[in-house]
Amino acid sequence: DSGVTQTPKHLITATGQRVTLRCSPRSGDLSVYWYQQSLDQGLQFLIQYYNGEERAKGNILERFSAQQFPDLHSELNLSSLELGDSALYFCASSVVGAAADYTFGSGTRLTVV
Amino acid sequence: GQNIDQPTEMTATEGAIVQINCTYQTSGFNGLFWYQQHAGEAPTFLSYNVLDGLEEKGRFSSFLSRSKGYSYLLLKELQMKDSASYLCAVRDRAYNTDKLIFGTGTRLQVFP
């Protein structure tokens, strides 16, 4: 157990729907990163939060949004889902937002049908 | 921006040595990471190079040349359990952020 908790582990939903993925960072970590990994692809950086504030944004679609709450957990909201959104979504956390300290969660596998 | 290249697939035999190369072009460089990822699982940290040279850790070694924008991961005494994807990632510390940018990964298959 890495200490980073992602729920749910698996999610199957239909096109056009909206889902919320949740990430609880390791105790004491202030920063959360979201990555998307499509089949046979590398991890694509989506967004970073640090202590509740957005710190960096990557290739995140306008249909996707995220936030980090006062208790430091984060949610990634995916709306108007398309078949191409099917992927593994990973969350990583670090203490002070330092990439050298990444800890990954086990991921959420999203399947859009 | 960042551009990271690594071979898509490699095969090797149990007990052999394999070298996985990674080349990168970045607007700012602050270190290079290697991760191992088994199918459907989270990436696990293997190594971190910030200075030129070789870092050895058991059966795994990683090399970095900043002037050439080049790194490699060397796996010795290959075992079947080493069959996995190996991800090269560059640390990006521009614009008040500190994050990893990943390559597409190299899928390694180890055969008996």
Residue A41: its chain B contacts at CB < 8 A?
Answer: 104-105
Does residue B22 have a pLDDT over 70? yes
pLDDT in tens, A24-37: 999 989 999 999 99
Using CA coordinates, name the residue in chain B closest to A34: B99
Of A39-53, A61-75, B92-106, the least confident:
B92-106
Residue with the two structure tokens 């499509």: A38
Residue A45: its chain B contacts at CB < 8 A?
Answer: 99-102
Work out the pLDDT band at A98, boundaries 50, 70, 90.
Answer: low
From the list A40, A55, A104, which residue is nearest B43 (CB)? A104
- The answer to whether the beta carbons of residues A34 and A41 sit under 8 Å apart is no
pLDDT in tens, B76-110: 999 999 999 999 999 887 777 788 899 999 999 99
Cis bond before residue A8 (omega within 30° of 0): yes
Of A72-81, B15-24, B46-55, the least confident:
B46-55
Instruction: Provide the CB-side half-sphere exposure for B106 (13 A, CA).
Output: 25
